[in-house]
Chain A
């Protein structure tokens, strides 16, 4: 086994390979490979190095950064909301504290996974330049933004799952799916509270057609083509029920357009 040939091959698909290997493992590389290594031990040693320098694919790192940006936004939003006096009625305090706790955990978890590659937290403007005046003074506005952020989060993670299918990204696909369903639980309860305070039964824990506001958050959710096949009328169920049964993804670009007005 010629380890230098392998590094050459990696270099061909990833121009930074040698530099990254050197950066990550200079010391262990020198001690392990320049001395008394037996041929049989080489693959194990290489695997150890790759676990550090090549833990995840570059595409997966981009997914993590994108996810962290969204979690920063949610985390700050709930920190401010949960700290605001006279905003959240006592009845709902436990719910929003729990959601906020999870968003903080998600931020910490993603920062840990990214390490030095983690981007810094941007500054947020939750009024979106005045479009949502007083988000931490009016409970309706706060819940409205909460449900929109959660539904956006669900669609954003869903849209990235396909970028985590490489073998070395398997742990990340597990984690992303586990965060994704937590965001969906949040979305369901936030929507339920919005329905209650607005006395509007059309707002359900699940998304009907593309109903909802802001419009871009729900654009395309009325899709009825699943697996390439039109399923309108399946099992004799209503169009509403068919669209509620499948949550649709959003592209990274669509998500960034939604959150951009909230970033200073």
Chain B
């Protein structure tokens, strides 16, 4: 019964925040390094892009340059936030106090990340995506924590792989501030599944040089596509 079969809006209701509008304009204009006039023009372009996927199919276009990468991160954070909101709304049977504490904290972090990107992107932000969690049994601990592990490891790999695609040092630092929090999540979710083993930084993810996962958007987006009803158009993203 806890399977989520309906479509959820990822940015609706009580998780919204009024400071967003203020943050929007100031952050976008300042950090994107654009003159106000140019900024307004580009924002208009981005809005238009949303409605025009390839061939007008309604795909969600992430945009180009740093804005594209921020939208890419925003899409990932939308997915994670929606997932943990559902986890806490319908906790799996047998959830422990410690697990509930951790998962509630993680939900809050992901919602904050999501709202931060939404605010930062302002009018250039993609729409709220519709998650598809039909493959996850929210009543099952193994299913929920298994999905959480996938989302967190994917998030770490995605931020690591996005670093070289970012032009603005301020955005690179922001990605760095977030990716280590995602890595903390990933480690502790893995540890909940296999306590006090090597799994928190296991040989399945860390290579022989002690390096974590790293994936470019072209690898990440197909991996998360099954969890999103919308089609994402990443054709404008920078490539290595």
Contact = CB atoms under 8 A, between A and B. Distances in A.
A245 B163 CA distance: 19
A247 B174 contact: no
Nearest to A223: B177
B103 to A, nearest CB: 12
Contact of B214 (A97, A177, A184, A234): A177
A226 B164 contact: no
Interface stretch (A35-43, A134-142, A236-244): A236-244
Contacts of B212: 177-179, 181-182, 185
B112 A206 contact: no
30 contacts: A94-B197, A98-B200, A105-B209, A105-B210, A109-B209, A161-B176, A162-B172, A170-B164, A174-B214, A175-B211, A177-B159, A177-B212, A178-B213, A178-B214, A181-B179, A183-B180, A184-B179, A184-B183, A185-B184, A188-B187, A192-B191, A206-B105, A227-B27, A234-B116, A235-B112, A236-B15, A238-B108, A245-B108, A245-B112, A248-B177
Interface residues of A, number: 62
A99 interface: yes
B187 A185 contact: yes
A233 B188 contact: no
- Judged by DSSP, the binding face of A is helix
A154 interface: yes
A174 B240 CA distance: 11
Interface string A187-222: 111001000000001001110000000000000000
B3 interface: no
Nearest to B208: A105
Contact of A234 (B115, B163, B178, B201): B115
A32 interface: no
Given A237-B112, A246-B177, A205 B210 contact: no
B180 A245 contact: no
B19 A234 contact: yes
A228 B26 contact: yes
A234 B17 contact: yes
B221 interface: no
Contacts of B101: 201
B41 to A, nearest CB: 21
B5 interface: no
A235 B12 CA distance: 11
A239 to B, nearest CB: 11
B188 A184 contact: no
Interface in B163-216: 163-164, 169-174, 176-188, 191, 196-198, 200-202, 206, 208-214
A173 interface: yes
Given A178-B211, A227-B31, A185 B200 contact: yes
B30 interface: yes
A148 B58 CA distance: 49
Contacts of A105: 208-210
Given A181-B183, A206-B109, A206-B184, A234 B119 contact: yes
